Structure 1
Amino acid sequence: MRLKDLKRPRTDGLPYLGTLSDAAGDTHYQLAISGPGKLIEKTFAETDFQYQIDSKATETDWVPRYQEMWAKQTVQAATKADPETIDALEKKPPAAATRANSMVVSVRRTQGQGTWWAWWWPALALPRGANLFFVLPPICNCAGFVVPNAGDPDLFLSANGPRNPVIAASTRGAGLIDRVAFGPAICWPWQEFVPWFRVNAFSNCATAFGMTGFGVIP
């Protein structure tokens, strides 16, 4: 699926919208991409994203499916990675995200409850300082990773909002895979949260992003 397959907003600032289907063919899911129109068009111009939604999946299914996704999307990049160096000490925390330099990609259920989610966004183009947030519905376990083709994207994870404290972060150097994860060993319904993944462009970069999560309530 590409950006052109989504319903384009008539007014800048309103979200692009699309209907998604799960493994059973149900279309009770909505994708929204919001932010500055020109930045969205530039960032998503070449990406042809893939997704999997399975409302019948269990917590046991989640682990091997994530491992399969990780192995498929990272094995080649991992073998080409350079070593970490003293340059890592030069990296500073990213500047605050604003409406002008940020985009939000969110997914929601419109009916039902409990779902396993997996997403892969290749060929994302981000200018230096830009932020791309990815938001899943409530989950109890989640993981995300960036696989750069060029430049240096960093990855952060917050719970229940973009301004809340970072609960996991990865700020490795240019060309290196960053990944974050969070969740309890046992998936209790009362421990669920809404994950906000933040891909921040430390430099101009072309990157892919993958995320997955499992939840038992809407």
Structure 2
Amino acid sequence: MSNGSLFATDQVTTQGRYQWHLWVADVLDLGTSVLVGWGALRALEQDRTPLSMPLAMALAWLTASAVGGLTGRTFWRQVAGVKLVRAEHTPGLLRGLARAFTTPLDLLLNAVLMRRPLDTLLGLHAEPVVSGAGPRLKGVALQLPWLAVLAGAVWLLVTPTKAEMLQYLGRTLTGWHCCHGTREMTWQCRTSLDRAVRNARSGDAEVKALVADCPVARARLGP
């Protein structure tokens, strides 16, 4: 028996070697899209409904998949050290969009089958990015817009919307204490006051009426 046949099962393809790098990147990309979609709803001051939430998240995921198809890269793929290719080229827009629908199932199949049959069907696989800390960091720098979008989404999730601010300051006991400075200032209190002052300065009549009855916000707003 030759050495080649003896150790044939030990040989791992490039696709197999980096499939888990891509798996981690896809999970993080999917999670990022969920956060971005939710953050976009809050930025637009839209109520969360059983329809609007999935729709916003799906649109964010489709956008991320389209860009990932055009470039072969996303922020998390770059961090994981891989890119998505088709015959040494970027996947393209259509395959990127198609992958938006196949990836969630492929993530599950990968965990069970130890391979990605739907990516294979699309002719896609992961390849390593250029090795070395310098090229890796340069590649991450090119993906900073993704990081900025993620940071913005997180900020929108932890700061109150206009409706939440009005509800908290105008209709709750803790909000009353916040407005009158009778208790220790919490994150919710501080961010709600900041939002009230910003909206009042922009001329929002509803918020200006609230600020008129909120001494702390009125003092921050000034004359």
TM-score calculated relative to the size of structure 2: 0.20
Larger Rg: 2
Q: 1 or 2, which has the higher strand percentage?
A: 1
TM-score (norm 1): 0.21
